[in-house]
Amino acid sequence: MIVGYARVSTQDQNLQLQIDALQNAGCFEIFEEKITGTKKDRPAQNEMLKMLRAGDRVVVYKLDRISRSTKHLIELVELFEEKGVEFVSVQDNIDTSTAIGRFFFRIMASIAELERDIISERTKADLSAARKRGRCGGRPAADQKKVQLALKMYRSEDYSINQIVQATGISQATIYRRLK
C-alpha cells in the first residue's frame, strides 16, 4: 500500500499542495497533520507508523514534512527499513527502493553517527580538562543556612511551600529531599 504523510506547522496553513502531490504519487491513504515540526508527539504520524506493513511505501512531499531533525529522519528511515517499508520524498527526489536512495540514507546515517561521536569525544575531553582544574561539574550545593531556614519554616507550619521557596530561594525538591 502507498501511504502519504502531509504536515503543515499552523492551523492557518493549507495542506492542499502536499495532498495533490501525494495523490499524484499514487497514495492510497494520506495522513494529514497541522502541528508544529518541533513537536515529538504527532498523532497522525504515530497512527501511520503503527499501521505500516512490509511492502508498504511512505511518500512525503518534502523531507522536512516528516521529521523534526536529521537524527529523527534517520531514525524514521531505519524504522522503515526494519519494517520493510520503502520511503519516497517527492520534491527531494529520494526513493529508498533504488540503490541511489539507499546509498543517500546510509551516507546521512554515517554523517549523523560521526557527529554524535565528535560531540561525545569533545564532551569527554572538556570534562577531563575541568577535572584537572579541580572542577567536578554539577550544580553548586545549596546554601546550608538557607536550607536550615527553609526546614525551620516548613516545620513551623506557618508558611506554604511556595512562600518558603520564594523567601529562601531553596527549591521544593531540595526541601522535600532534606525532610526525608
Query: In this predicted structure, what is the pLDDT of residue 55?
Result: 95
Distances (CA, A) of 26 to 46, 57, 60, 62, 106: 21, 10, 12, 16, 26
C-alpha cell at 58: 511512505
Q: Which of 52, 111, 116 is nearest to 87 (CA)?
A: 52
Q: Assess whether 67 carries a catalytic annotation.
A: no
C-alpha cell at 43: 498523532
Classify burial at 150, counting beta carbons within 10 Å of its beta carbon; exposed 0-12, middle 13-18, buried 19 or more.
Answer: buried
* 2-14 pLDDT, tens digit each: 999 999 988 888 9
Residue 114, pLDDT above cutoff 90: no
Coil, helix or strand at residue 58? strand
CA-CA distance, 158 to 161, in Å (whole number)? 10
Q: Are strands 29-34 and 2-8 parallel, antiparallel or unpaired?
A: parallel
pLDDT above 90 covers a percentage of the chain that reads: 51
Of the listed 9, 110, 128, 171, which one is catalytic?
A: 9
Mean pLDDT of 110-117: 79
Amino acid sitting at position 146: K
Please report which confidence band the pLDDT of residue 21 belongs to, taking 50, 70 and 90 as the band edges. very high
Q: Are strands 86-89 and 94-95 parallel, antiparallel or unpaired?
A: antiparallel
